[in-house]
Structure 1
């Protein structure tokens, strides 16, 4: 045998079995499957572990959509640079919060201090009325139920609990939102870079649709909040209902949370109303249904025509799950999250339909 025909040392070393080399094709396939499933499980565990951080990032995206929508609205009237429009939106928002703080501190601070006492008295009166009607309900039973609900909240909720934790979360959401609103294309290109080249145009199309939907959704939410807050305050103030300003502010803020917010604001309004007598209580019931009816049949339908139409039961279920897992932050972000998921699924379905049509035309030719 010629020397050139003899295998070299390197070739012999390459042909030797090693712990990382599986010569059996079936074993190699099973190893690949095991690696894929292990990776999926590990990725899912990682998402659960960092779910709170992901939710804060999503909250920043929601805030960025609100800032971007305000900047686009100002751009229709003021042809100035985008950076200046964003700064103007942030200044207006900060000014409103400062005004609200001074107004709350000077006008309704005493009302806010009396508010828990009134709610507690009315709740006790309602329990006593139920007891007289034959319902075996005791305050200690309600306290036990409330305690069980509080202890059932997960560690994630407790981690963001408290004033300091809540303010820190809001600060992080605001910072992330401002950065994204200033340069949204930078982050879109960064995410698209991680995708295969042939799928990037679909990613840009989906993200663009998501951003437009989020802007419209947040704009409609703000319109609903302003309407419910101001209208509730005026109606209650005209009749002389105590804490009209505080109830208006709470109603407007809770309007950001569909379904749950309306129920909570209605309960608070009715409890305060009945503290002034039966007539005032019935009037607050009338105001509540008037506001919710007008908002549900006029404001919301006008907004829903330009946003995603989510089923109320689906939104309520998402709010319950997100509220249990992440507390008030999950409750606030459940609706926008469901809207984004729906847009992503709709765009994916549209892309699959286009692929099927293209494949059918190719087979026909």
Structure 2
């Protein structure tokens, strides 16, 4: 026979003490944060693919907006033109590289391997390094670069991931407001206007950041090619045999600040010394000239119109993302830190006469004294 409701005792999940109830809620918040962090690590690969798709969507959206300034047609048609232009450029690059750069890629690989083995032998003779081989260096390098993104560890996985990012980017760029409203729907009503402000500001900052990156990539690639061909001939050297390939790699790697410049510089100097000592020292000069021109002329000019990020902050983010998530994390480190900075800047702005940090004070009735 069941007892009446007033005679039943409290259940094990029912907490009557207000202070204990508050402590339980606080503990649940911390447990939720820990579970969220674990979930992010366990789902790092798909989450990074989604972030990559968002970055690609921002790039497509920027091109669509730019095209709208000169071509007054519907947004869907402008987006279609941008997507077709992207695939056209990608197809041309693959075809051109496949027909022109296959032998150069093989020559570059052999040159870099030969020069690196000579460097290891010199270090061994000088007593700086011992028992270090190229195979051991490669094993340690690839073992330390991102164990989390194993889905991208093979050529098929990388191709599938790139295709997924492109598809996600196209869908988001087609209806960006649809996804904004979907995220805002999960927030309290009073926070939705602020969310839309932050979303618009982050999108604006990322569009300008990516536009600046593309301009910097183009400038570095062109300058490198000119310096390795015409510049070398002007000082009496033979033009670099791999000038076009080195210029292409320098331009592509310029998308990754700091790390990309270092890698392209190592490749350039290795190719130079394989040709002659004079060409090697000239390659060092070209690297320093291009990087200083980019650092003191191009980047300041772009930073005035884009997100100005501290180099140390970007490098620290690259180290963390590259160590945790591999090459994809390294590629997305710059857009991620720019998005975080833009979101924090917009969130910290307070409307005059109002405050988003503290709730408004409630006036007590006069009868309460």
SS at match of 1:156: coil
Matching residue of 2:52: 59
1:18-73 residue CA offsets vs partner (Å, 9 max, x unmatched)? 23323344443443333333223222222222222222111111101111111111
> 163, 171, 174: which one pairs with 1:179?
171
Q: Is the 8 A contact 2:44 2:325 kept in 1?
A: no
Matching residue of 2:235: none
Query: Residues 127-276 of structure 1 correspond to what in structure 2 (within 5 A)?
Result: 127-132=120-125, 134-138=126-130, 140-141=132-133, 143-238=135-230, 239=232, 240-276=239-275
Bigger mean CA deviation after superposition, 122-131 or 291-300: 122-131
Q: CA deviation at 1:274?
A: 1.0
Q: Is the 8 A contact 1:64 1:181 kept in 2?
A: yes
Consecutive unaligned residues in structure 1, runs of 5 or more: 1-8
Measured at CA, do residues 278 and 203 of structure 1 come closer, stay the same or move farther in structure 2, by a change above 3 Å? Answer: same
Matching residue of 1:344: 343
Consecutive unaligned residues in structure 2, runs of 5 or more: 233-238, 363-369
Matching residue of 1:291: 290
Matching residue of 1:101: 94
Query: Residues 60-79 of structure 1 correspond to what in structure 2 (within 5 A)?
Result: 60-79=53-72
1:103-150 residue CA offsets vs partner (Å, 9 max, x unmatched)? 112212111112111111112233334445x23435635543442333
Bigger mean CA deviation after superposition, 203-212 or 38-47: 38-47
Measured at CA, do residues 354 and 99 of structure 1 come closer, stay the same or move farther in structure 2, by a change above 3 Å? Answer: farther
1:22 aligns with 2:15: yes
Q: Is the 8 A contact 1:270 1:281 kept in 2?
A: yes
Distance 1:296 1:28 in 2: 56
SS at match of 2:149: helix
SS at match of 1:275: helix
Matching residue of 2:6: 12
Q: Is the 8 A contact 1:57 1:176 kept in 2?
A: yes
Q: Is the 8 A contact 2:44 2:149 kept in 1?
A: no
Bigger mean CA deviation after superposition, 319-328 or 154-163: 154-163
Q: Which has the higher helix share?
A: 1
Bigger mean CA deviation after superposition, 112-121 or 345-354: 345-354
1:180-234 residue CA offsets vs partner (Å, 9 max, x unmatched)? 1000000000111111111111100000000000000000001111111122122
User: Number of aligned pairs?
Assistant: 354
Matching residue of 2:303: 304
Distance 1:357 1:33 in 2: 22
Q: CA deviation at 1:93?
A: 1.3
Q: Is the 8 A contact 1:124 1:139 kept in 2?
A: no
Distance 1:157 1:52 in 2: 5
Superposition TM-score, scaled by structure 1 size = 0.89
Distance 1:159 1:361 in 2: 49
Query: Residues 75-94 of structure 1 correspond to what in structure 2 (within 5 A)?
Result: 75-94=68-87
Q: Is the 8 A contact 2:120 2:129 kept in 1?
A: yes
Superposition TM-score, scaled by structure 2 size = 0.88
Distance 1:358 1:286 in 2: 52
Bigger mean CA deviation after superposition, 139-148 or 96-105: 139-148
Q: CA deviation at 1:11?
A: 4.4
Q: CA deviation at 1:153?
A: 4.0
